[in-house]
Amino acid sequence: MTKKVRIGIIGLGAQGSMYAKFITDGLVPNMEIGAIADIDPAKAESAASDYPGIPFFSDYLEMIESGSVDAIVTCVPHFLHPQIGIDALRRDIHALVEKPAGVYTKQVAELNAFAQTKPELSFGIMFNQRNNPLYIRLKEIVDGGEIGSILRSNWIITNWWRPQGYYDQSAWRATWGGEGGGVLVNQAPHQLDLWQWICGVPKSVYSKVAYGYRRNIAVEDEVTALVDYGNGATGVFITATHEMTGTDRFEIVGSQGKIVVENSQTATVTRLKRPERELSEGMDMSDVMKLFMGQLNTDDYYEQETIEFDSVWGAQHAGVLENFAANILDGTPLLAPGSDGITGVRLANAIHLSSWTGREVSLDFDEEEFLAELNSRIRVEDKFPERV
């Protein structure tokens, strides 16, 4: 391959440095670093040392307009993703935004609307877990109707343990004005996306959220949300950052089977021989007694499969970068279109709004109401500007 996409990395922190290493190590064969931008002067020195000869800019707009890059990736605080994405697309530069796409749906909707005016440009989001072969396979199983229609789903994802020192390292971290929230906008966006990608977008949510529950922070560190899909199906999402030995367990119960995922590594898929109601209606009391006594031949009712894939660290992120470049070069479909980023932001916003107001909230909530509630908390912090 001779043609490569010149990527501009905006923000040379932990994430930006990781992407730069993937590219320079050859893990993204159709991409090269065109330029790097960061407002921290110290990053100019490290960039010159680690990536000699690559242009460095203190202003990302100068980088975008320099002619050095074909595309950009945003590795900056969440609030900045939408505006940087718009700025790049406006200048005919392809844009890959980090997760989450933004902090509130109003700004993400503006990014999506602008991207629609530039259909010739590639617009993606770094949902690297969509490149996880385990979740790709599970989506195929669900979409193919192999476990029937979804009746219930629940995800307990509490292995995001973060000690107090993690929050104390930066003044903007775990603040409403600087980060835009806690576990919902920082640690759990991938699961919020995968949950909806596989199980569908809910109609409404009711939540109980604890703010500064086990950490000295203003934002949420524990969340329990109950969603309604509008067709009788429900879902539960539980996440937290204070469990040293947390849990990662995802269950999907269907009318003809079940999926249980442990630690995002191993999935047990149960496929019923017939829909559960048919099995139920075909059982007489002798069958029921066998069931209670553990004498039922389960092979007559269901079969199980265990699915597990080896996961090489970095392969999922590098794969999204490679796919994004391929979309630019030859139109390969995107693993994660940028417009999909709004679904996770919308659900996180609805969870927050439900907890703030104490009511069940439609996913079609009033964006201005959410923004007013968010700004009221930013005002209390008195550290950051309000958002519009």
* pLDDT at residue 312 greater than cutoff 80: no
Q: What share of the chain is helix, strand, coil (3-state, %, to 5)?
A: 40, 25, 40
Average pLDDT over residues 105-116: 98
Q: Please answer whether residues 227 and 123 qualify as being in contact, where contact means their C-beta atoms are separated by less than 8 angstroms.
A: no
Residues sharing a CB contact under 8 Å with residue 353, sequence separation 6 or more, in sequence order: 361, 365, 369, 370, 373
DSSP-derived pairing of the beta strands 150-157 and 204-211: unpaired
Average pLDDT over residues 186-200: 97
Quote the DSSP letter at residue 332: P
Q: State the first-to-last Cα distance of the chain, in angstroms, to the nearest integer.
A: 44
- Closest alpha carbon to 216 in 170, 177, 163: 163
As a whole number of angstroms, the distance between CA 282 and CA 229 comes to 29
The 10 Å Cβ neighbour count of residue 25 is 10
* pLDDT at residue 177 greater than cutoff 90: yes
Backbone phi, psi, residue 107, to 5°: -75, -35
Q: Domains (ranges, CATH) in the chain?
A: 5-130+314-338 (3.40.50.720), 132-309+344-381 (3.30.360.10)
Per-residue confidence at 302, pLDDT binned at 50, 70, 90? very high
At 2 the pLDDT is 65
Average pLDDT over residues 312-318: 83
Average pLDDT over residues 288-297: 92
What residue type is 121 in one-letter code? L
Task: Tokens for 290, please give them.
Answer: 């066998």
- Closest alpha carbon to 155 in 181, 126, 176, 184: 184
As a whole number of angstroms, the distance between CA 304 and CA 307 comes to 10
- pLDDT tens by residue, 209-254: 999 999 999 999 999 999 999 999 999 999 999 999 999 999 999 9
At 143 the pLDDT is 98
- pLDDT tens by residue, 31-60: 999 999 999 999 999 999 999 999 999 999
* pLDDT at residue 154 greater than cutoff 90: yes
At 365 the pLDDT is 98
At 314 the pLDDT is 74
Does residue 100 have a cis bond before it (omega within 30 degrees)? Answer: yes
Average pLDDT over residues 180-204: 97
Per-residue confidence at 330, pLDDT binned at 50, 70, 90? very high
Per-residue confidence at 152, pLDDT binned at 50, 70, 90? very high
Mean confidence (pLDDT) of the chain? 96
DSSP-derived pairing of the beta strands 204-211 and 220-228: antiparallel
| Integer angstrom CA distances of residue 256 from 22, 33, 270, 271 | 42, 48, 8, 6
As a whole number of angstroms, the distance between CA 256 and CA 142 comes to 11
Of the candidate ranges 142-151, 166-175, 225-234, the one whose mean pLDDT is the lowest: 166-175
Q: Please answer whether residues 181 and 143 qualify as being in contact, where contact means their C-beta atoms are separated by less than 8 angstroms.
A: no
| pLDDT > 90: percent of the chain | 97
Sign of the dihedral through C-alpha 273, 279, 285, 290:
positive
* pLDDT at residue 1 greater than cutoff 80: no
- pLDDT tens by residue, 334-378: 999 999 999 999 999 999 999 999 999 999 999 999 999 999 999
* pLDDT at residue 283 greater than cutoff 90: yes
Sort residue 73 into left (φ over 0), alpha (ψ -120 to 50) or beta. Answer: beta
Average pLDDT over residues 142-162: 98
At 170 the pLDDT is 87
At 311 the pLDDT is 75
| pLDDT > 70: percent of the chain | 99
Query: Directed axis angle between helix 189-199 and helix 133-143, to 10°?
Result: 30
Only one residue has tokens 């269950």, namely 251
* pLDDT at residue 91 greater than cutoff 80: yes
